[in-house]
Chains A and B, each alone.
Chain A
């Protein structure tokens, strides 16, 4: 075991996994909120674009999206952020993960909006708030609180899905695990348990935290 840690940069790879998860979480929350606003907005066109986006992304395998980020965006559209191939792939993996999970964040927020009683929206309108005002002052704050459980679930799924970034050669933990298993076939079970427990340690607190938060922040009605 110590031998594994000595010859492979396990902590570094887990660090990259966490980095991917944190930045993709921020990205997907931002994009998902924008799409959710489009989905509830009075402008029919934006509504349809949002629905189209969610339907396409939700029904496409993440592996395909990540691979397309590399050969579609980097190679064909020439969208590179840096000359360093490894770093560029990390950035595009984050973008791909963000756009994929944004669809689920959007759905979570919509379910959150549905927990807000109709009277709240009507009250907001009757005191003269515009759509954007009632959304930002009244509805979204409550929707976020009502959507904590599905948002937490999306965050957990996202943390686990960072492993798919290995498809474009990002050196996160699952790629390292595969390499370790090929060279140390005698330690397959130890290696698996090591990585699996690492993920349990990463995801379990998110689950416990969201369960706590969702009861603590639940809007009393």
Chain B
């Protein structure tokens, strides 16, 4: 019945959708122009392909395996700080990668806490660089995601079943086999596939912790072909490989990739009667302690060393902080201009189209898009002068799938419940947006804007391709400081960057919810 007439038309959404598709297609065209047949890939490039697949597979596997005990402990234990820990599991979404890397270096790096401890015990120290460093960082980012997905799975098991298991006095192993195992078999493959796809296009982690012939991802190889050799043909070929690999993996995994839980609802513990035994309890406490230490210690170290390093921060850092703020602001604007009409359009149609758009965003890699655009812009204008707007637009495109996931449900619900009222009152188009849809969706708009702003301000991707010393964002400036071994200044910059990302998210999210009426 609601299909017949809608207060908003789809034309603006169709325009926004066309822009998104055109932006991605333009990158394809640019790449195709330079990927001359015959140039092909050398052994180094094939090594990069192998490394990309291996590190993504390992990252996915380890993330989901570690997530099982952690999610299980969180699902069945009630303890102080549980709610906060679960909120923190959402933080990697807005945590700048380079900041996390610095935190991981402080714990696992050459002079990190772990190595100091190993050294004191007379044990050989470990190096964080190379495959295991890349995997470590990916696990740091994706263990929380996997845990949230599994927590969702645990909460999907009806509480009545646990009650029944308690009534029958099933031993822990039987509870696991009859209740939890089926859920895990359902959720784990999808969670692993999602993390695998995410890690395929990882750049900043590989840039900082990988490198060299043995630990270069395709994304990093694109960057190196671009920056060091200025070999556009090679960069274009690598982009093609990246597209085929990530797009193919996303396509194959399409049917099993789960919904990413972006919003709350996970902090409800299920009352459990089983797992009272001492062994189970110790396991759970251990999982929670180790998990929180792994996730929190790097952030604590960033905060501590950052405070100490604030004085060492050069003026260039503050300048680039201003640039980053500008990029993030522009990115949020672009995102809202694209996402709102698109979400409105999707909301007026039948369900199902959102997931496809989400996967398009997951598989299109930022550096691939950047390379394509660079090739197209280069003959017409100086790409370097456009580096900041390009970064902002690419950031917005990357955030778009998440924004749609946040915005579409609330717009759909509003149209369902109040669309008819709008129509009888003749409120169409602009009036419906201004007086009904935007006010109703304000909390979600704020949340989406906050995510985008935080993602954009912390992004170290396309900007690394295009940048020159005059146009540097804070993450890039921080990377340069790290490269120049200005450790204190880098730590200070990391704290500034972290604060900016959190502040942007907090301001947008709170602003959206401020005096919002249900």
Q: Please indicate whether A and B come from the same complex rather than being unrelated chains.
A: no
A binding-site residues for B, Cβ under 8 Å: none
B interface with A by C-beta (< 8 Å)? none
